[in-house]
């Protein structure tokens, strides 16, 4: 009788192990969908840290991206429009206060961002990752990405703090919802 119980328990453990292995394998499979970059960002030596430094190569808004690996704190993307450039995106959660899934949702979408609703000058600034006077908060997000949440706790604030590098910061001042000034 004891032997039958042990075999039954062993079978349950084997089944549970097989099920967890299959689930992990499915979760780790490559995401074959193509996404559109939802805001311009920079990658330095093949890496983008979600603190959102503005150093290295500009990855413009609406660039096609394929997510080739997704972990709990990082993801790897490939950019077919840029010669299949590979970029590792590392989430600095203490700065973003977002999970990697939330970062994925705001950085990549299934639809291209419609820039036609903006003036020609603003469209060019967004595509070039630049902030210009008179931009709305939405336009700044598209052009420059999100400021680190630990330094700009709320996007309703009239002062956004960005990091160009670890040591150089810029402050974007808004008045009535539009860029009034940019301080380096």
CB 114 within 8 A of CB 38: no
Query: For residues 137-148, b (16+ Cβ closer than 10 Å) or e, as one string?
Result: bebbbbbbbbbb
Q: Which residue has the tokens 């450039």?
A: 85
Are residue 142 and residue 76 in the same domain, yes or no? yes
Are residue 47 and residue 18 in the same domain, yes or no? no
Q: Tens digit of pLDDT per residue, the chain (184 long)?
A: 555 555 554 454 454 444 444 444 444 455 679 999 999 999 999 999 998 889 999 999 999 999 999 999 999 999 999 999 999 999 998 888 999 999 999 999 999 999 999 999 999 999 999 999 999 999 999 999 999 988 898 999 999 999 888 889 999 999 999 999 999 8
* pTM as predicted: 0.81
Give, in order, the Cα–Cα distances in Å from 125 to each of 53, 81, 85, 120, 169: 18, 20, 23, 9, 19
Are residue 42 and residue 24 in the same domain, yes or no? no
Torsion of CA 77, 169, 120, 58, to 10 degrees: -30
The structural domain count of the chain equals 2
pLDDT for residue 164: 87
Are residue 113 and residue 156 in the same domain, yes or no? yes
């Amino acid at each position: 009788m004891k032997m039958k119980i042990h075999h039954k328990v062993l079978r349950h453990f084997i089944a549970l192990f097989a099920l967890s292995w299959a689930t992990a394998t499915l979760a780790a499979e490559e995401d074959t969908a193509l996404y559109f970059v939802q805001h311009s960002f920079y990658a330095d030596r093949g890496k983008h840290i979600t603190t959102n430094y503005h150093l290295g190569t500009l990855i413009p808004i609406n660039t096609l991206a394929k997510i080739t690996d997704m972990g709990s704190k990082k993801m790897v993307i490939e950019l077919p429009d840029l010669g299949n450039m590979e970029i590792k995106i590392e989430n600095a959660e203490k700065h973003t206060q977002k999970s990697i899934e939330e970062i994925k949702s705001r950085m990549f979408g299934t639809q291209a961002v419609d820039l036609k609703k903006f003036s020609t000058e603003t469209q060019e600034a967004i595509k070039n990752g630049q902030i210009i006077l008179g931009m709305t908060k939405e336009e700044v997000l598209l052009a420059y990405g999100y400021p680190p949440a630990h330094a700009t706790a709320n996007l309703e604030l009239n002062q956004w703090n960005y990091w160009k590098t670890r040591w150089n910061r810029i402050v974007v001042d808004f008045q009535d919802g539009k860029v009034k000034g940019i301080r380096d």
